[in-house]
Chain A
Amino acid sequence: MTSTLTISHLTKAFGGVKALSDVSLAVEPGERVALLGHNGAGKSTLMKVILGLIAPDGGEISVCGAAPGKARSQVAYLPENAAFHSALTGLEQITYYMRLRGEAVSGAMELLDRVGLGHAAKRRICTYSKGMRQRVGLAQALIGHPRLLVLDEPTSGLDPVSRRDFYELLDGLAADGASILLSSHALTEVEARTDRLLILSGGRMVAEGSLPELRREAALPVSMQITALNGYDTDIMAALPDAIRLNGGLHLNCTQEDKLATLARISAMQEKVTDLEVIPPSLEDIYSHFSRRDGQ
């Protein structure tokens, strides 16, 4: 199976600003990949290079087997601040895009219904709310059967229910074999709904993999919150020298490898402990671990 998108050693600088340095990645058919990174990390720039809107300074890129911008009929794009001509109605705008893709325009209304805009299809886009404009953007990205969807912050401005609907749409597309590359700042939804995460920081690819893989690689400490039975906290602290007092309880950090051993020592003191809570590193912890590695 050949990758829909392969990038190797891509670099791009704007004047003195290195927006992307030595970025390599591949996206397979049917795969949903999330691109994460701080503001200015280079996510949008990477997407524009993939689409052929910006010429790279170096590196090789293959999009659906062609150079960027050469396989446009197979690639759909949602820009980060999707803008449309405000004098057009949603229906006119989508009809226009369908004609440009050579699709039958009879499906325009159905497409707008799919993104929940059916009721507003005949109103001008200047009367739309931000989320409604974002949905016009989503609708145009769904036209035809793109093999690659490049979505720049697709859920920004969407309400929680619409976000869920949106990811359900994506699941359907991926099941049909489309590759999806999306950027986002919403970590929780991205980890639950994509197959792989890529983290950009200062233009470099600092991490790549599924969440469990990244969790292992980051090797962040597990924290434990121990509530001692009245008066026994000094005993526990003696047995666990790393523990500190915090908010009336005891707090302990330990590495992934030491986790089971530490738990065994705590359970050995069962009669002195009323409660134990094990808190794995959160998504934010893992993200900031990778994102800050370059001195951010």
Chain B
Amino acid sequence: MIARIFATAVTEAHIARRNRWVLIAVALMVVFSLVLSAAGSAPTGALGADRLSVVVASLTSLSVYLVPLVALLMSFDAVAGEVERGTLPLLLTYPVARWEVLAGKLLAHTAILIVAILAGYGVAAAITIAADPAAVAGLGALWRLTWTSVLLGATFIGIGYALSSLARRVSGAAGLAIGLWLGLVVLYDLGLLAAVVADDGGFFTTDVFPAALLANPADAFRLFNLTASQATAAASGVGGAAATIPLWQSLLSILIWPLVSLALAALAFRKVEP
């Protein structure tokens, strides 16, 4: 079992390297982190936080868009591509379970994502600490951001596999992935914000809104990181109401989502007829 999962992971890693996905993912993360840390190393005062914590807050806002995007870009082709190339029927006649195939792909794609995240955040941290050695105080926040980013990425990789299985066509899967990214990462917050404004402190704001934030993996990720570093007000796009959500709830959402999305992916893949 383990051998078969590793075999698939190694093969996927070869493919990702040849298709330049490793390079693209790392370049995206590094470039954006560089830009942010350059902007964030300006003197800060208001928050009384160290520079690295400030950079982490802006990296959080960046990662909430970028990590899901990179994850979906790597994963949308996973099943639909095999169907379209015609490689799936042969693969499924091999003594390998479908979930093992997905697990192998997940291993490879997550590893690439980890490399990209480490490269991006590492560069940001190096620059910030070089500019201000006192910024090492923020390493804890950076570490938190790092592992939650990996979990967020794994969630969206799973979602990408599920969409890929449902679409069965690469073009369809790409469309679904972009649509889902826009929906969950961009429009969802706008919709919530509009609803909160219209609701003006009523039932929606107090009861529905926190649950809606927790239900979205991207929002839970942002909430957790910003709450944990007490910077909710500083950078949260969704306003102060989020501050009332206890930390453990957003943590739970972050931990459960990868399992849910991978289970969905495995279910959707099982339904694919070669």
What residues of chain A have their CB less than 8 Å away from a CB belonging to chain B?
48, 51-54, 69, 72-73, 75-77, 79, 81-85, 87-88, 92-93, 96-97, 99-102, 124, 137, 140
B244 CB-CB contact with A under 8 Å: no
Task: Given A53-B92, A53-B274, A75-B93, verify A99-B19 contact (CB < 8 Å).
Answer: no
Q: How far, in whole Å, are A101 and B11 apart by their CA atoms in the complex? A: 15
Task: Given A51-B93, A100-B94, verify A92-B86 contact (CB < 8 Å).
Answer: no
Q: Which of B9-36 contact A (CB under 8 A)?
A: 10-11, 14-15, 18-19
Task: Given A79-B86, A83-B86, A85-B85, verify A99-B93 contact (CB < 8 Å).
Answer: no
Query: Is the CB–CB distance between B7 and A100 below 8 Å?
Result: yes
A150 CB, min distance to chain B CBs, angstroms: 8
Q: Which of B7, B15, B92, B274 has the most CB of A within 10 A?
A: B7
A208 CB, min distance to chain B CBs, angstroms: 25
Question: Which residue on A lies nearest to B91, using beta carbons?
Answer: A100
Query: Is the CB–CB distance between B86 and A81 below 8 Å?
Result: yes
B46 CB-CB contact with A under 8 Å: no
A177 CB, min distance to chain B CBs, angstroms: 20
> Which of A53, A83, A85, A93 meets B93, CB within 8 Å?
A53
Question: Which residue on A lies nearest to B101, using beta carbons?
Answer: A100
> Which of B3, B10, B19, B273 meets A87, CB within 8 Å?
B19
Q: Which of B3, B18, B94 has the most CB of A within 10 A?
A: B94
Query: Is the CB–CB distance between B85 and A140 below 8 Å?
Result: no
16 sample A-B contacts, Cβ–Cβ < 8 Å, listed by A number: A54-B273, A69-B93, A72-B94, A72-B95, A76-B93, A77-B90, A79-B89, A84-B85, A84-B87, A85-B11, A85-B87, A88-B14, A99-B4, A100-B8, A102-B3, A140-B90
Question: Which residue on B lies nearest to A144, using beta carbons?
Answer: B95
Give every chain A residue within 8 A of B11 (Cβ-Cβ).
85, 88, 92-93, 96
Question: Which residue on B lies nearest to A140, using beta carbons?
Answer: B90
B54 CB, min distance to chain A CBs, angstroms: 41
Task: Given A82-B90, A100-B7, verify A87-B96 contact (CB < 8 Å).
Answer: no
> Which of B15, B92, B95, B273 meets A85, CB within 8 Å?
B15
B78 CB, min distance to chain A CBs, angstroms: 12
Query: Is the CB–CB distance between A96 and B10 below 8 Å?
Result: yes
Query: Is the CB–CB distance between A101 and B90 below 8 Å?
Result: no
Give every chain B residue within 8 A of A54 (Cβ-Cβ).
273
A178 CB, min distance to chain B CBs, angstroms: 16
Query: Is the CB–CB distance between B4 and A100 below 8 Å?
Result: yes
Q: How far, in whole Å, are A69 and B7 apart by their CA atoms in the complex? A: 21
Q: Which of A82, A85, A92 has the most CB of B within 10 A?
A: A85
Q: Which of B75-125 contact A (CB under 8 A)?
A: 85-87, 89-90, 92-96
Task: Given A48-B89, A82-B90, verify A100-B18 contact (CB < 8 Å).
Answer: no
Question: Which residue on B lies nearest to A150, using beta carbons?
Answer: B93
Q: How far, in whole Å, are A81 and B89 apart by their CA atoms in the complex? A: 11
Question: Which residue on A lies nearest to B19, using beta carbons?
Answer: A87
Q: Which of B128-173 contact A (CB under 8 A)?
A: none
- Top 3 nearest A-B pairs (CB, nearest first) are A99-B7, A87-B18, A83-B86
Give every chain A residue within 8 A of B86 (Cβ-Cβ).
79, 81, 83
Give every chain B residue within 8 A of A75 (Cβ-Cβ).
93
Question: Which residue on B lies nearest to A75, using beta carbons?
Answer: B93
Q: Mark B194-227, 1 if CB is under 8 A from A, else 0.
A: 0000000000000000000000000000000000
Give every chain B residue within 8 A of A69 (Cβ-Cβ).
93
A92 CB, min distance to chain B CBs, angstroms: 6
Give every chain A residue within 8 A of B94 (Cβ-Cβ).
72, 97, 100-101
Q: How far, in whole Å, are A92 and B15 apart by their CA atoms in the complex? A: 10
Q: How far, in whole Å, are A159 and B87 apart by their CA atoms in the complex? A: 24
Question: Which residue on A lies nearest to B84, using beta carbons?
Answer: A83
Give every chain B residue within 8 A of A101 (Cβ-Cβ).
94-95
Give every chain B residue within 8 A of A79 (Cβ-Cβ).
86, 89-90
A87 CB, min distance to chain B CBs, angstroms: 4
Task: Given A72-B95, A77-B93, A99-B4, verify A88-B15 contact (CB < 8 Å).
Answer: yes
Q: How far, in whole Å, are A79 and B94 apart by their CA atoms in the complex? A: 13
Q: How far, in whole Å, are A102 and B11 apart by their CA atoms in the complex? A: 15
Give every chain B residue within 8 A of A76 (Cβ-Cβ).
93
Q: How far, in whole Å, are A97 and B6 apart by their CA atoms in the complex? A: 12
A207 CB, min distance to chain B CBs, angstroms: 28
Q: How far, in whole Å, are A87 and B82 apart by their CA atoms in the complex? A: 13
Give every chain B residue within 8 A of A87 (Cβ-Cβ).
14-15, 18-19
User: Besides the contacts A77-B93, A101-B94, what 4 more A-B pairs have beta carbons closer than 8 Å?
Assistant: A87-B14, A88-B18, A92-B11, A140-B90
Q: How far, in whole Å, are A97 and B92 apart by their CA atoms in the complex? A: 11
Give every chain B residue within 8 A of A99 (Cβ-Cβ).
3-4, 6-7
Q: Which of B4, B87, B90, B273 has the most CB of A within 10 A?
A: B90
B81 CB, min distance to chain A CBs, angstroms: 8
Question: Which residue on B lies nearest to A74, using beta carbons?
Answer: B95
Question: Which residue on B lies nearest to A92, using beta carbons?
Answer: B14
Q: How far, in whole Å, are A83 and B19 apart by their CA atoms in the complex? A: 18
